[in-house]
Amino acid sequence: MSLFRIFINQLEEDDQEMATSKKVITRGEWEKKLNAVKLRKEDMNTLVMNFLVTEGFVEAADKFQRESGTKPEIDLATITDRMAVKKAVQNGNVEDAIEKVNDLNPEILDTNPELFFHLQQQRLIELIRQGKTEEALEFAQEELAPRGEENHAFLQELEKTVALLVFEDASNCPVKDLLDISHRLKTASEVNAAILTSQSHEKDPKLPSLLKMLIWAQNQLDEKAVYPHINDLSTGQLEDPSD
């Protein structure tokens, strides 16, 4: 037998060995285990509340508190403020947003030079979008150029932004993405995250992480066992193992 053949045979043997050495758990056994899990309703409510609060759905969080008795983990009033800032950025009112952030907590922008630069950059973009070329240039020189001098990455961003002015039809130039509404949303997200962090709150809701953990846990368990999976998170249907 050629060495190659011996090698292939060995792999096949290993494969079979691996397949049979995994523990097989039947659907019935698995469902029994599922039913034995003790989940507290309060914990699931807390998970949902955490989602509503982090996403900034104030009214929903307030109603949920009334309907379920779950306490929000941060003061709902702070959510309203945070959402006002986010909305302002999403609507292109960056100056207003900056003012609101400083009202909320002046340290946020002080300790977050990158965020502050991005907000100023967004302001510049809005000025350009409105066709206020002179004002834009003045603003760029006074507020943004000094930041650019301090930081190379900022300088590059600044140059990209100013490039918008050079093109007749800015909506068709290489840097047109800056004018896209998604850039506003990106900046809005950044501000949202910074405010949450300043309030010692995690910037992401826990729920998506748990869903990822489910997929990860199934992948991990696949190494050692054959058992019913949930392959479609939306339906939560248990699917029997394929073989």
Partner 1 sequence: MTSLPLTPSSDNGHRNGNDETSGAVNRGDPILDFLDKIRLSAGAAARGEAMDENEGEEESPTELNTTNSAGGFLIVSPDKLSVKYTNTNLHSYDVGVAQANRPAPFKSLTYYFEIFVKDAGLKGKVAIGFTKEGFVMRRQPGWEVDSCGYHGDDGHIYRGKGTGEAFGPTYTTGDTVGAGINYASQEFFFTKNGALVGKIPKDIKGHLFPTVGVHSQNEEVSVNFGKKKFVFDVNGYETSARNKQQMAIEKISIPPNIGYELVKTYLLHYGYEETLDAFNLATETTVPPIVIAQENVMDEDDSSYDLHQRNTLRKLVRNGDIDAAMANLRDWYPQIVQDDKSVVCFLLHCQKFIELVRVGKLAEGVKFGRLELAKFVGLTEFQDIIEDCFALLVYSKPEESPVGYFLDDSQRELVADAVNAAILSTNPNKKDVRHLHSHLEILLRQLTVCCLERRSLNGDQGETFRLHHVLNNNSTRR
Exactly one of 135, 180, 209, 239 binds partner 1 (CB under 8 A); that residue is: 209
Q: Is 93 in the site for partner 1 (CB under 8 A)?
A: no
Give the list of residues 6+ apart from residue 190 with CB closer than 8 angstroms, or none: 115, 118
CB of 85 to partner 1, least distance (A): 13
Helix (H, G, I), strand (E, B) or coil at 70: coil
**What is the C-alpha to C-alpha distance for residues 29 and 111, in angstroms, rounded to an integer?**
54
Q: Report residue 235: phi and psi, to 5°.
A: -100, -25
* Token duo for residue 35: 């039913």
User: Percentage helix, strand, coil, to 5, in the chain?
Assistant: 70, 5, 25
CB count within 10 Å of CB 224 equals 10
Which range in 47-55, 112-120, 142-150, 164-172 contacts partner 1 by CB under 8 A? 47-55
Identity of the residue, 3 or 181, whose beta carbon is nearer to partner 1 in the bound complex: 181
Q: Give the one residue of 27, 33, 132, 176 binding partner 1; rule: CB under 8 A.
A: 33
Smallest gap from residue 153 Cβ to partner 1 (A) = 23
Given the rule CB under 8 A, which of 30-38, 114-122, 139-147, 190-198 is the region that contacts partner 1? 30-38
Could you say whether residue 235 binds partner 1 (CB under 8 A)? yes
How many whole angstroms separate alpha carbon 74 and alpha carbon 197?
A: 12
Q: What is the C-alpha to C-alpha distance for residues 151 and 96, in angstroms, rounded to an integer?
A: 26
41 in contact with partner 1 (CB under 8 A): yes
Q: Which amino acid is at 180?
A: D
Of 51, 42, 166, 193, the residue nearest 112 (C-alpha): 193
215 binds partner 1 (CB under 8 A): yes
Structure tokens that stand for 130 in this block: 């409105």
Secondary structure of residue 85 in the 3-state scheme: helix
Q: Name residue 24's beta-bridge partners.
A: 226
Q: In the set 42, 99, 138, 159, which binds partner 1 (CB under 8 A)? A: 42
38 belongs to the binding site for partner 1 (CB under 8 A): yes
217 scored as a contact of partner 1 (CB under 8 A)? yes
62 counts as binding partner 1 under rule CB under 8 A: yes
State which residue, 106 or 208, has the beta carbon closest to partner 1.
Answer: 208
Q: Is 143 in the site for partner 1 (CB under 8 A)?
A: no
- Asked if 234 is part of the footprint of partner 1 (rule: CB under 8 A), the reply reads yes
**Helix, strand, or coil (residue 117):** helix
Q: Where on the chain is the footprint of partner 1 (CB under 8 A)?
A: 23, 25, 30, 33-35, 37-48, 50-52, 55, 57, 59-60, 62-64, 66-69, 87, 90-91, 181, 185, 202, 205-218, 220-221, 224-225, 227, 230, 233-236, 238
